[in-house]
Amino acid sequence: MENWVRVLLLVVCLFPAMVECRVRNYTFHVVMKNTTRLCSSKPIVTVNRRFPGPTLYAREDDNVLVKVTNHVKYNVTIHWHGIRQLRTGWSDGPAYITQCPIQPGQSYTYNFTVTGQRGTLLWHAHISWLRATLHGGIVILPKRGVPYPFPKPDEEVVVILGEWWKSDTEVVINQATQSGVAPNVSDAHTINGHPGPLSPCSSQGGGFKLQVESGKTYMLRIINAALNEELFFKVAGHNLTVVEVDATYTKPFTTDTLLITPGQTTNALLTADRGSGKYLVAASPFMDSIVAVDNMTATATVHYSGTLSSTTTTITQPPPQNATPIANKFINSLLSLNSKLYPAKVPLTVDHNLLFTVGLGVNPCATCVNGSKVVAAINNVSFVMPTFSLLQAHYFNISGIFTTDFPGNPPIIFNYSGNPPGTSPANMNTMNGTRLYRLPYNATVELVLQDTGIIAPENHPIHLHGFNFFQVGRGLGNFNPNKDPKNFNLVDPVERNTIGVPSGGWTAIRFTADNPGVWFLHCHLEVHTTWGLKMAFLVDNGKGPNESLLPPPSDLPTC
Ligand code: C2O
């Protein structure tokens, strides 16, 4: 944006009553803070000394400015997970994809406008494993005067689910990478920063307490900020009505259990329809494969006003860890609201038909503990992080940083899902490379994400930056291009930015490439991202300035 336009906008927006525009200014100081949880004390990286970090509030159409200053010894970037960043890829945040990191002692101001989105999202660090403690909520309110498409809740509460390691997560991942084996699983899950009243050494007064009044309705803005685990979420004695996921409205439906993958967000209404009492809230892992997870259940309490403190808490049994039917029931209940005001704009024709295998494998490694290391790949390409930002390389035409030959289909055809088990090859011939898939502006894309069973089938929550997509289909086994598309939902499929690919199955998504720039696609299980389960789309500019990437801001960090 021209500087004078920005100044004019700032001045005009000082009087928000006069015009429909607002500027929201935030200051993030990335600093260390000493904290005690789970019987251990350690310094953690935080924003403004808070864990979880501060919630960012904005209204649809607001211009958000966040000045991030890095006071720690690590390089840092912040990603506004799910924010479309139309033409503002410079503010997206993944390190070496859209920007060089903010180095110790430096600052960078993220500058973006919230367009066509309302609901809950999250922000988090997007470099190494720093997002373990560097994360917080984003609340996008509808435009002034526009109601929610559901009864207005009496109160709203941000509920952030996380994962906690007793040791330093940067050490955990660095040791794992050197040795080639899987990193340790976490030591606890957390709800708003606390493992909860059932945890053996819970400090902080027994965990997060949601104080409610009988008869009122509460909207929980639930965020899974965990690094590596999908979570079930339940409240004893209460049902939850889902109304929105990933900042898009859904057809409301009622359930006793939510499933939420890392990177996903869910708004759910909880009606305090009991007279009084204390009710346990539980967040527990979902894993329907042989992969090890942290099996600790995080807890919190819904506490009715007027309840005696001696009252015993009504507990709830979390679903079994491998409760695939409960997970499927929840996922299959999710549909776009698809109303007149909020239509589901599903692409009905497809320009690019892509099939990406996503999964793990083993590669030789002379320096590793077992002579081999775990790797992860998409279409047999283990993505290599560049040391310079891809978006800058693209914008300034700097060659030698990436290639645009990412395969649109698996280079080797095999029994991807390994159903029956053991029928995938033991080796997928992983190649390394910083390869991008190039799309013209406004191309429509159908992408089938196919899990592989090379080590073991596993659920992969895949996140796409810069776009929302529609989940048009989902199934078990190998995707069948002749049969499966006949059952696609092109009317009201759920719209989101992060989607679980089922263990030993596939998920089909569609999106329109209406956002020029370089956009990361990766598994939101951070350990899989580390191992290479990531790639990027390069979307060309369209015609004229409104369809083109803006120039980089002057304070963009350098590498
Ligand atoms: Cu929430 Cu690329 O991540």
Question: What proportion of the chain, given as a percentage, has pLDDT over 90?
Answer: 87
Could you tell me if the CB of 528 is within 6 A of ligand 1?
no
As a whole number of angstroms, the distance between CA 554 and CA 559 comes to 14
CATH topology of domain 155-333: Immunoglobulin-like (2.60.40)
Ligand 1 centre and the CA of 522: distance in Å? 8
Q: Checking phi first, is residue 180 left (phi over 0); if not, alpha (psi -120 to 50) or beta? A: left
Sign of CA dihedral 87, 92, 94, 95: positive
Question: What proportion of the chain, given as a percentage, has pLDDT over 70?
Answer: 95
Work out the mean pLDDT of the chain and round it to a whole number: 94
Name the pLDDT band for 37 (thresholds 50, 70, 90).
Answer: confident
* pLDDT higher than 70, residue 499: yes
Domain boundaries, the chain: 3-141, 155-333, 352-547
Ligand 1 centre and the CA of 281: distance in Å? 26
* pLDDT higher than 70, residue 438: yes
Arithmetic mean of pLDDT, 410-434 = 86
As a whole number of angstroms, the distance between CA 471 and CA 358 comes to 16
Ligand 1 centre and the CA of 81: distance in Å? 6
As a whole number of angstroms, the distance between CA 409 and CA 315 comes to 48
Dump the DSSP string for 243-259: EEETTEEEEEEEESEEE
Of 517, 505, 523, 508, the closest CA to residue 469 belongs to 508
Which pLDDT belongs to residue 58? 97
Of 445, 526, 394, 446, the closest CA to residue 130 belongs to 526
Arithmetic mean of pLDDT, 118-128 = 98
The closest-lying atom of ligand 1 relative to the alpha carbon of residue 82 is 1
Could you tell me if the CB of 262 is within 6 A of ligand 1?
no
The closest-lying atom of ligand 1 relative to the alpha carbon of residue 498 is 1
Lowest mean pLDDT among 114-118, 192-196, 395-399, 499-503: 192-196
Ligand 1 centre and the CA of 4: distance in Å? 33
Which pLDDT belongs to residue 5? 53
Backbone angles phi, psi at 385, to 5 degrees: -65, 130
Could you tell me if the CB of 124 is within 6 A of ligand 1?
yes
Which pLDDT belongs to residue 67? 98
CA 123 to chain centre: 9
Do you know the residue count of the chain? 559
Ligand 1 centre and the CA of 230: distance in Å? 15
Which pLDDT belongs to residue 66? 98
The closest-lying atom of ligand 1 relative to the alpha carbon of residue 529 is 2
Could you tell me if the CB of 274 is within 6 A of ligand 1?
no
Of 372, 386, 384, 385, the closest CA to residue 432 belongs to 384
Backbone angles phi, psi at 274, to 5 degrees: -100, 155
Reported as a single tens digit per residue, the pLDDT across 186-228 is 999 999 999 998 776 655 567 999 999 999 999 999 999 999 9
* pLDDT higher than 90, residue 119: yes
The closest-lying atom of ligand 1 relative to the alpha carbon of residue 124 is 1
The closest-lying atom of ligand 1 relative to the alpha carbon of residue 93 is 2
Could you tell me if the CB of 165 is within 6 A of ligand 1?
no
Give the side-chain half-sphere CA count within 13 A for 497. 28
Sign of CA dihedral 382, 388, 391, 395: negative
Ligand 1 centre and the CA of 130: distance in Å? 12
Could you tell me if the CB of 131 is within 6 A of ligand 1?
no
Which pLDDT belongs to residue 103? 98
Ligand 1 centre and the CA of 132: distance in Å? 12
Could you tell me if the CB of 79 is within 6 A of ligand 1?
yes
Lowest mean pLDDT among 13-22, 239-248, 262-271, 295-304: 13-22
As a whole number of angstroms, the distance between CA 147 and CA 226 comes to 31
Of 248, 217, 90, 222, the closest CA to residue 161 belongs to 222
Ligand 1 centre and the CA of 464: distance in Å? 8
Containing H/E element for 109? Answer: strand 107-113
Which pLDDT belongs to residue 81? 98
CATH fit for domain 3-141, picks 3.20.20.70, 3.90.1150.10, 2.60.40.420, 2.60.40.10:
2.60.40.420
Which pLDDT belongs to residue 193? 94
Which pLDDT belongs to residue 8? 57
Which pLDDT belongs to residue 460? 97
Name the pLDDT band for 85 (thresholds 50, 70, 90).
Answer: very high
The closest-lying atom of ligand 1 relative to the alpha carbon of residue 465 is 2
As a whole number of angstroms, the distance between CA 467 and CA 326 comes to 28
CB within 8 A of 297, min separation 6: which ones?
189, 196, 198, 282, 283, 284, 318
Q: Count of CB atoms within 10 A of residue 542's CB?
A: 16
Ligand 1 centre and the CA of 142: distance in Å? 24
Which pLDDT belongs to residue 16? 47
Ligand 1 centre and the CA of 79: distance in Å? 7
Could you tell me if the CB of 463 is within 6 A of ligand 1?
yes
Which pLDDT belongs to residue 418? 86
155-333 and 352-547 have identical folds: yes
Could you tell me if the CB of 126 is within 6 A of ligand 1?
yes
Could you tell me if the CB of 461 is within 6 A of ligand 1?
no
Name the pLDDT band for 10 (thresholds 50, 70, 90).
Answer: low
* pLDDT higher than 60, residue 13: no
Could you tell me if the CB of 522 is within 6 A of ligand 1?
yes
Could you tell me if the CB of 517 is within 6 A of ligand 1?
no
Reported as a single tens digit per residue, the pLDDT across 308-357 is 989 999 999 999 999 999 999 999 999 999 999 999 999 999 999 999 99
What the block records as the tokens of 157 is: 């509460």
CATH topology of domain 352-547: Immunoglobulin-like (2.60.40)
What the block records as the tokens of 65 is: 């400015």
Could you tell me if the CB of 94 is within 6 A of ligand 1?
yes
Which pLDDT belongs to residue 1? 46
Could you tell me if the CB of 263 is within 6 A of ligand 1?
yes
The closest-lying atom of ligand 1 relative to the alpha carbon of residue 81 is 1
Ligand 1 centre and the CA of 214: distance in Å? 38
* pLDDT higher than 80, residue 128: yes
For the chain, state the CA radius of gyration: 23
Query: Which residue's alpha carbon is nearest to atom 3 within ligand 1?
Result: 81
Q: Count of CB atoms within 10 A of residue 333's CB?
A: 14
